[in-house]
Amino acid sequence: MFEQRNAAIGDDLLLPFQVLKEQAAKRGIAAGTRSAIPLEQADAIVFIDLPDITRPHVQRMLNSGKPLYLIVFESPLIRPVKKDDQLISRFKKIFTYDDAMVDGCRFVKINYSFDTSQKREIDLSKKLKLSVMIAGNKRVNHPQELYSDRIETIKWFEKNHPDDFDLYGVGWDERHFGDRLPLRVLNHFHPIRRLMARNYAAYRGPVERKREVLESYKFSICYENIMNVPGYITEKIFDCFFAGCLPVYLGADNISDHIPANCFIDRRKFKSHSELYDFILNMSDSLYIEHLQNISVFLQSGLAYPFSIDSFVSTILSEFVRE
């Protein structure tokens, strides 16, 4: 994680950790994974998301007597974090995106972070198609999940305007059996998943780098995995920003507290897929360019600093630098 820039789910997602290691070294702090720094030599232990306490090496770290820290990236769909949880009480500090949990003391605000200095030229001649979605095919039983909303959107476009929509990502050529027993066991058998897969006519395959795909579309259907978690703003909307593609966003209920509303299309404002489609189809070039210019202004302003790598690094290192 300290050597690679890109992760499977996004461009440059690991870059903040590379910079973190470099900046820590300048302050006399060695940062590394457990394979690089033996437990007995560590002064503190930082977990990325809640660990699986059934694993022996996790138990050894939790019981080591070292100061424990937690950085929360996963949504509550995967790794729910609760303040009154017994495991949470063992961490000295918890860095989290969740605005509702941040107290400025043990729970410290941190965001997904990016190289916000990137600049993209505005060139409408590169826009070959109206809309796209890049997402994985998943299922989770949770009242706030947005996986099913993505599927409804895909089906609507395939039925009504197939020429104006493409789908990319992993798992769309396989069936996902959900997270309930006993069917979820079948998720481990890929031949069965492929045999029983639904045929998504809009599916164009996986992508190596999101940005290269997004550049060819005017709009991206950009849904988080979960809705109404304040402050849960992931790489999805920023991937669009850096590609010069206007996102149709659904996710954090307080998104406009962090990113100006004139930088994205708020899906909540439209009563139906048809109403949304009519809006993006008929958006004038001048209004579209204005939105992209708003994105550039945002990324170059102080409003974007909380999403910058500098902010991420300084927030983490502030807990470890000895004055």
**Cα gap 297→306, rounded to integer Å:** 15
Residues 6+ apart with CB under 8 A from 46: 69, 70, 71, 316
**Contact of 47 with 71, CB cutoff 8 Å:** yes
pLDDT given for residue 323 in this prediction: 40
Residues 6+ apart with CB under 8 A from 244: 120, 121, 122, 123, 126, 214, 215, 292
pLDDT given for residue 197 in this prediction: 61
- Summarised one tens digit per residue, pLDDT across range 212-262 is 999 999 999 999 999 999 999 999 999 999 999 999 999 999 999 999 999
- Summarised one tens digit per residue, pLDDT across range 165-190 is 999 999 898 766 666 667 666 566 66
259 vs 79, residue with greater confidence: 259
Q: Over pLDDT 90: what percentage of the chain?
A: 78
pLDDT given for residue 107 in this prediction: 96
Structure confidence at residue 120 as a pLDDT band (50, 70, 90)? confident
**Contact of 43 with 61, CB cutoff 8 Å:** no
What average pLDDT does this structure show over 37-62?
Answer: 94
**Contact of 202 with 154, CB cutoff 8 Å:** yes
**Cα gap 321→26, rounded to integer Å:** 11
Kindly report the pTM of this predicted structure.
0.90
Q: Which residues pair with 39 in a beta bridge?
A: none
Structure confidence at residue 79 as a pLDDT band (50, 70, 90)? confident
Burial label, 146 (beta-carbon count in 10 A; 0-12, 13-18, 19+): buried
Q: Over pLDDT 70: what percentage of the chain?
A: 91
